[in-house]
Amino acid sequence: MHDKTLAQTAEALRTGEVSALELTKHYLARIARFDDALNAFITVTEEHALAQAAEADRRMAAGEATPLTGIPIAHKDIFCTAHVRTSCGSRMLDNFIAPYDATVVERLARAGAVVLGKTNMDEFAMGSSNETSYYGAVRNPWDHDAVPGGSSGGSAAVVSARLACGATGTDTGGSIRQPAALSGITGLKPTYGRVSRYGMVAFASSLDQAGTLTQTAEDAALLLETMAGFDSRDSTSLDEPVPPYSTVIDEPWDDLTIGVPENFFDEGLDAGNAAALGAALGELEKLGARLKSIRLDNVHLSVPAYYVVAPAEASSNLSRFDGVRYGYRSPEAMTGNLNEFYKRNRGEGFGAEVKRRILIGTYVLSTGYYDAYYLKAQKVRQLISGDFARAFAEVDIVAGPTTPTPAFRIGQKTGDPVEMYLNDIYTIGANLAGLPAMSVPCGFAGALPVGLQLIGPHLSESRLLKTAHYFQRATDWHARVPPGYD
């Protein structure tokens, strides 16, 4: 049963080839068998999943089903889920039980999806390798000694290992696309505001965006149709109609011009990745696309700009976690004065990477440094947005690498934060500009998968999904399963 895509599983449920309860039990058995080696789940909600599956079967028997009814999925542990722990991969929220569902969770539940559990992640979504989690590193199904990418590494590993039909994730600087590329699956970050952030624990509010991790673009389209749409509880939510993505992707191929940034293919790109990407671009040409060389002159500034803006917003968003109303409280917290109380709670509750970013953010927002760093980074952000706007006046989408290298070894970059940050060099620009972007499997560098990144203008998810869907109909990279998980 796990050899089917989400779309194929939906058809099997619709025709009665399998029941939702049978399907859910099958996936729960796979989680029990494989997750000890992967560490991809923080919480498995077996009892709740079986109850949801039984309700899904009732809805299908009554003719009340949607395309997602009975589909087993997983949620990144950054989305609030009523009566289930929402930890954000942090000791700070290890005991936090949310009293309500995030909009994403609510909409998928309403559609009848079955939630298998909550997935591991970099602490508060701060990381590129899923090594900063309080619950330990997630391992890549393609190589257990390698990282799956981050911060949505648990969701990526779950889908890659076929432990769920799909999963939710969040992308602040590449945290859906990067793990999708390193784990050999499809990852979609929609336009900023396309999917509600209500109930999604904030990292950097002007950059965070919920999205999907799936086997295929068709699967992503099915999930996005349900997740997207205006939400009055989110002030950044876009009040725009949601296209029927799952039908749009099968419409006839458009006259498509694809921009290929020259400066994305420099000496920083691994040779194996470059070869796979070259072949993928050639395949898009065979499908009828025209390739055009372009330049994004300010994109090399995206990493320094991001690592000023994102920590600044994080320092503000994480100030609420102090052990007073909720969150971790040190056993020694009450032995000193109020300052000691806060210092112990936050010092013990947050991990090293979160502390690093809080310190950076507080520094760049402080008197005397705001203009020199934060304001300047926001100006650079506008320059990067302008680069993309000029590019989209000439091309329909931009295509290039998702990551500079295939998956690296666990522990390889933890001692050098800057080297770790550079893993997001190709993905951050889309977040700074609020653009939709996705990564699709396009080949291998040695035994590890490589991702092709597609970036489009605002609200062009249909175009990206359609391009990816046609590419996946002509190739089978998305169908490859890690050894031992087939």
Whether 413 is catalytic: no
Give me the catalytic one of 19, 76, 128, 129: 76
Whether 292 is catalytic: no
Q: CA 119 → CA 92, 154, 156, 444, distances in Å? A: 17, 5, 9, 26
Give me the catalytic one of 87, 129, 133, 151: 151
Whether 151 is catalytic: yes
Closest CA to 207 of 130, 305, 80: 305
Would you say the C-alpha torsion 410, 412, 416, 418 has a positive or negative sign?
negative
How many angstroms separate the CA atoms of 298 and 311, rounded?
A: 21
Give me the catalytic one of 133, 155, 160, 175: 175
Q: Which residues are catalytic?
A: 76, 151, 175
